[in-house]
Amino acid sequence: MTELRLILGDQLNPEHSWFRQQSDHVVYVMLELQQETRYVRHHAQKIIAIFAAMREFARQLREQGHRVRYVQLDDPSNRGSLTDNLDALIAYYQAVTFSWQLPDEWRLDEQLKRWSATCAIKTITVDSEHFFCERHEVSAFFGQRKSWRMEHFYREMRRRERVLMRPDATPEGGEWNYDAENRKPWKGHPAPPDDHRPMHNHTALWHTLTALEVPSFGEAHAGDFRWPLDRKEALGGLERFVRDDLRHFGDWQDAMHTDSWHLFHSLISFALNTKMLSPREVVANVQAAWQRGEVPLACAEGFIRQVLGWREYVRGVYWAKMPGYRDNNFFHHQRPLPDWFWNGNTKMNCMAQVIGQSLDHAYAHHIQRLMIVGNFALLAGLAPAQVHEWYLGIYIDAFEWVELPNTLGMSQFTDGGLLASKPYVSSAAYINKMGNYCSQCKYNPRERTGENACPFNALYWHFFIQHQSALGHNPRLSMVYHQIKKFSPQEHENITQHVKNLLIDIEKL
Ligand code: FAD
Ligand code: SF4
């Protein structure tokens, strides 16, 4: 009569209704899989964090009296792939039922669907009880519309979930969006928070991973490991953020500075994406802090928009458009990633800083991902598939359902404008305004061409000149094309020649 219930590595939600009752007929199955360590090259901290959090989850389930079969990567019975392990465990336990929570990644969803179609025993899927929306609610909301603006969806979510709403169904403060107030550069005050995250030692796990030759890159920090690994730690991080940093989040959300790699960002994405935290409690906590008068409305709204708006929205785009979304390449960009993406050895200080901190911490905040690395990748015409694999590997929070639409749709514009109303690119002027990277750079942010000119400048203008037929009609780019019209033929020629030289020598930038 045994039922096996699969718990995937990003389904570490102890509040799931599965765990309300203990039964000797139910065995929870947790698997450390070679297939999951190899579908892309992952940052060392990401692999450690997921396996260590899974082990802790299994320990706590056992402590509560649940039966758990946990198969470690180095367990001799481990067959490597998900489905081979499941076949073996079903036979071993003579299970009559197999249940799993809906996976968030298309890859695993397909694998389980195909396998269950030939499975001899009864199979059941249940919801992961995590998101505000079901998988296909976003696509139902947008229907046949050509562009899917997040803002429309977000307002609907605010109404539906009654978040920051007045009783008369108008938004608190009278505005839906306070984004314009969230764009300040940070000049050293207030002081950014110390790193309050928990400290763990995962040297033994790291030795196992290296002995098994699990491919990885980036700093492991196994002996001083800082990501939260269970719900208690994750809740502690959320509460501290809401109490101490949320009030500063709005103002400096877009700022970048060499003195702080995360400024006032929450660092909750790993805990959220592995479901240790629920987005509902995150939104409720932030709303409550505003109701208590502890944070301004603009801060609370700006933060809630990320979780209730963007996070649910990109997941909806993913499920609506997969698997084809992965192959979009609106600009037909093909250039391979330069080697310095993997070590940060570039003279462009903004890129060196953001790639460097990503290798060190498996983290960069949103604007660093979008307006530094993604900006360069798009301007330089890097192959979107390679850019996607880099993002999917390097960040601690990178799971395809959230990474792919952000990387390909928002950052690389590969869908031609479904997700973003225009490409998110900038010249050095924006980077210089929002941070201090340029003040310590070999390149000059004010020059367009010439030996010391910042590469972002010529690349920026060249990008729009090159893609005029695709982008020239976009009303949001009229200023850009108005400016280009004023360039002399000589300026056009200088930009083209300069970009040609930059890209030939991209490895040396
Ligand atoms: P905060 O800035 O404190 O924001 C709070 C929370 O809001 C985040 O934890 C996250 O859950 C949510 N959020 C904010 N922006 C987004 C967004 N655009 N999409 C979805 N959720 C959002 N986020 C991931 O979780 N995984 C990824 O793999 C990922 N890849 C990205 C790739 C690119 C190119 C870009 C531009 C963004 C990506 N993001 C991704 C979104 C965002 O950058 C991260 O969620 C955020 O930096 C995580 O850090 P934090 O927890 O400190 O977030
Ligand atoms: Fe980056 Fe250019 Fe500024 Fe250097 S000058 S930090 S390359 S934007």
pLDDT tens by residue, 207-217: 999 999 999 99
Number of residues written out for the chain: 509
**Domains of the chain (ranges plus CATH)?**
3-126 (3.40.50.620), 137-199+229-321 (1.25.40.80), 339-508 (1.10.579.10)
Taking the centre of ligand 1 as the mean of its atom positions, its distance from the CA of residue 266, in whole angstroms, is: 10
Q: Within 10 A of 109 (CB to CB), how many other CB atoms are there?
A: 18
Residue 12: its pLDDT value, please?
A: 98
The verdict on the CB of residue 441 being under 6 Å from ligand 2 is yes
How far apart CA 311 and CA 308 sit, in angstroms, is 6
Determine if ligand 2 sits within 6 Å of the CB of residue 456: yes
Residue 485: is it exposed, middle or buried by C-beta count within 10 angstroms (0-12/13-18/19+)? exposed
Residue 243 is predicted with a pLDDT of 96
pLDDT of residue 179 exceeding 80? no
> pLDDT, tens digit, for every residue of 49-67?
999 999 999 999 999 999 9
Quote the tokens at residue 476: 């949001």
Q: How confident is the model at residue 182 (pLDDT cuts 50, 70, 90)?
A: low
Index of the ligand 2 atom closest to the CA of residue 443: 5
User: Exposed/middle/buried for 316, CB within 10 Å: 0-12, 13-18, 19+?
Assistant: buried
Counting beta carbons within 10 angstroms of the beta carbon of residue 197, is it exposed (0 to 12), middle (13 to 18) or buried (19 or more)? middle
Q: In 21-145, which ranges are E strands? A: 26-31, 42-43, 67-71, 97-101, 122-126
Q: What is the pLDDT of residue 181?
A: 67
Ligand 2 atom, smallest distance to 456 CA: 2
Binding site membership of 350 for ligand 2 (Cβ less than 6 Å): yes
When pLDDT is averaged across residues 289-314 and rounded to a whole number, the result is: 96
6's enclosing H/E stretch is strand 3-6
Rounded average pLDDT over 414-427: 95
| pLDDT tens-digit readout, 247-273 | 999 889 999 999 999 999 999 999 999
Measured from the Cα of 454, ligand 2's closest atom is 2
Instruction: Please give the DSSP secondary-structure letter assigned to residue 260.
Output: B
Question: Which pLDDT band holds residue 178 (cuts at 50, 70, 90)?
Answer: confident
Please report the pLDDT score of residue 183 as a whole number: 77
Centre of ligand 2 from the C-alpha of residue 246, in Å: 29
Q: Is 271 in the pocket of ligand 1 (CB under 6 A)?
A: no
Mean pLDDT over all residues of the chain? Answer: 96
pLDDT in tens, 463-509: 999 999 999 999 999 999 999 999 999 999 999 999 999 999 999 99
In this predicted structure, what is the pLDDT of residue 1?
A: 87
The interface predicted TM-score of the complex, written ipTM, equals 0.99
Cβ 246 under 6 angstroms from ligand 2: no
Tokens representing residue 50 in the block: 């997921």
95 lines ligand 2 (CB under 6 A): no
Percent of the chain beyond pLDDT 70?
100
Average confidence (pLDDT) over 292-311? 96
- Asked if omega into 384 is within 30° of 0 (cis), the reply is no
- Report the atom number in ligand 1 closest to the C-alpha of 392: 28
Give the pLDDT score at 193: 86
**Over residues 308-330, mean pLDDT:** 97
User: Residue 131: pLDDT above 90?
Assistant: yes
Answer yes or no: is the C-beta of 348 below 6 A from any ligand 2 atom: yes
Residue 202: name the closest of 224, 231, 180, 227 by CA.
224
| pLDDT at residue 195, rounded to an integer | 87
